[in-house]
Chain A
Amino acid sequence: GQNIDQPTEMTATEGAIVQINCTYQTSGFNGLFWYQQHAGEAPTFLSYNVLDGLEEKGRFSSFLSRSKGYSYLLLKELQMKDSASYLCAVRDSNGDSNYQLIWGAGTKLIIKP
């Protein structure tokens, strides 16, 4: 079956580093997305990984290990505006040439001064 697990909530301090993990089980993996969603607002695209390794984008980095079914989002130099939910979504094949996005429940990140 298809399953994505993320911690429900995490707390971190302004200026620090936090790592948000995502583990998944899918049959036809074809990439993993991270989105940021502030309360009451739309999800916004952060990163996409399809090959193993680390992708860095400014203060945010995303890592993927396909053999372990594991990804993480690393946020550095945390700012108060980083308080948001972070959604992990896996692109999974149904067995044909069509792919669907399977969404995790999201991790609510709370930044404290």
Chain B
Amino acid sequence: DSGVTQTPKHLITATGQRVTLRCSPRSGDLSVYWYQQSLDQGLQFLIQYYNGEERAKGNILERFSAQQFPDLHSELNLSSLELGDSALYFCASSVTGGRGGFTDTQYFGPGTRLTVL
């Protein structure tokens, strides 16, 4: 158990709908990362937050948005869902968010499996 929690574990919805995925980082970690992993594909970095502020953006679609709240939990919002959005969505957390030269290991939550029908 990494200490990172994600809810829900599974989500089934229809095209055109909107969903929200939730992540709570490990105790003491200030940074949260969101990743998408389609079937048999690599990890695609979506976005990173550090202490409530956006730190880095990857290949995140305009239909997707995220935020990190004062209690450091984060939510990923996916709207106008398409069949191709079906994937595993992972949240990871780390202490410093990659700042400075410190070793900053990312620890992953169990993921949310999203199925769009």
Contacts and interface: CB of A to CB of B under 8 A. Distances in A.
Interface in B65-108: 88, 90, 98-101, 103-108
Nearest to A31: B103
Given A30-B101, A33-B106, A43-B43, 18 more contacts: A31-B103, A40-B113, A41-B110, A42-B2, A42-B90, A42-B108, A42-B109, A44-B2, A48-B105, A87-B42, A91-B98, A97-B101, A98-B55, A98-B56, A98-B98, A100-B56, A101-B106, A105-B41
13 contacts: A31-B103, A33-B106, A42-B109, A43-B43, A43-B90, A45-B105, A45-B106, A48-B103, A87-B42, A98-B56, A100-B45, A100-B98, A105-B41
B111 interface: yes
B45 A103 contact: yes
A6 to B, nearest CB: 10
Contacts of B88: 40
Interface string A63-90: 0000000000000000000000001000
Contact of B108 (A44, A48, A91): A44
Contact of B43 (A50, A98, A103): A103
Interface in B26-81: 41-43, 45, 55-56
B90 A101 contact: no
B105 A42 contact: no
